[in-house]
Amino acid sequence: MYSLLKKEISVFLSSPLGYIVIGVFLLITGLLLWVLPLDSNILDGDYAGIDPLFVLAPWVFLFLLPAVTMRSFAEEKKTGTIELLLTHPLTDFQIVFAKYLACLFLAVLALAPTLVYYISVYKLGNPPGNIDNGRTWGSYLGLIFLAGGFAAIGVFASSISNNQIISFILAVLLCYICYAGFGYIGAFISSGAIGNGVQLLGISAHYSSMSRGVIDTRDVIYFLSFSYLFLMMSKTALESRKW
């Protein structure tokens, strides 16, 4: 599996796609956080923090991760290399997991340069270092888990289609529903236990919880289970060729 993971990562880094994804992510967040005179501008904020990054990043990832994952299996099917891939001495789940980890690696790689934002705010604070570190690192961890969930959705969407555009659109739609859709549905149903229960099915509620700096095992279990569910669905989609 390691060789396949290494191959997938090298494909990303040897093609323009990986650098475009990283560049677009940093460009959008950089403009919205530091340049444009919007509410998200950190320099115009009342306190030292990079909270706007963690509000904007999920929406950027909602489009960028499907763009990364849409080629995972759809391209293999279109070019006919899927049969060659499946002859490797790997289980279907190992193949799915390797492609998933490669996509997640690219997301983490895109996040890494944003540590410069943290360092800048840390230095610019009055006094220097006046920043909520627990909230910041909790948000980073939550964002990685969220990226993992989006990547799992994207791999699943690619596994059931041989058209990259259809895979991209389906992944964006599913990511939106899983991130914000349950929150809207829950709020529409009621403000009681049922509504809260529906909201807890969505990613947003658990991401917001981790962004407060408190790492609750229930949130971690949710994200791991969520990603595992979509990876198993991707495995099932691959196995359907045998039916």
Letter for the amino acid at 223? F
Radius of gyration of the chain (CA): 19
Two tokens at 84? 């060659």
pTM, full prediction:
0.90
For residue range 27-73, list pLDDT tens digits in order: 998 888 888 887 878 777 667 678 888 889 999 999 999 998 888 88
Condensed to tens digits (0 to 9), the pLDDT of residues 92-125 reads 888 889 989 999 999 999 999 999 988 888 887 7
Q: What is the DSSP letter of 41?
A: -
Encode 2-38: b = buried (16+ Cβ within 10 Å), e = exposed: eebbeebbeebeeeeebeebbeebbebbbebbeeeee
For the chain, how many residues are written?
Answer: 243
User: 196 in helix, strand or coil?
Assistant: helix
- Count other Cβ atoms within 10 Å, centred on residue 216: 13
pLDDT class for 179, splitting at 50, 70, 90? very high
- Over the stretch 186-242, which tens digit does the pLDDT of each residue have? 777 766 777 777 788 889 888 988 888 778 899 999 999 999 999 999 989 887 765
* Mean pLDDT across 70-81: 78
Give the tokens for residue 204: 């947003």
